[in-house]
Amino acid sequence: MSQKFQEIINSERPVLIDFFATWCQPCKVQSSVLNTVKENIGDGARIIKVDVDQYPALAAQYGVRGVPTLAIFKNGELLWKESGVHDVNTLTQLLQQYV
């Protein structure tokens, strides 16, 4: 996963990473929000989900201490990272800044 993850975040296109856990109720809420964000942003950015229980080393590498944690990467650079549930408009605007 680590090699594939590096390829994904090194993209010219911004990538929103959703660090989540299957047992996390707020993560389920965030997931439905991200579906709408994807509709709003179209092909301008990618949205990828990473299960912290399946990839704990990846979560640790990026300092994920709680879920959901969202992070935006472009050209391999971490541009933004925050924990908690975020609304559609905030995330859409954030991604549009980097498209």
pLDDT digits (tens, 9 = 90+) for 45-74: 999 999 999 999 999 999 999 999 999 999
Question: Alpha-carbon distance 97 to 74, whole Å?
Answer: 11
The catalytic residue among 9, 15, 17, 24 is 24
pTM, two decimals, is: 0.95
Q: Is 27 annotated in the active site?
A: yes
Q: Is 24 annotated in the active site?
A: yes
36 Cβ contact list (under 8 Å, min separation 6): 88
pLDDT digits (tens, 9 = 90+) for 15-47: 999 999 999 999 999 999 999 999 999 999 999
The catalytic residue among 15, 27, 37, 45 is 27
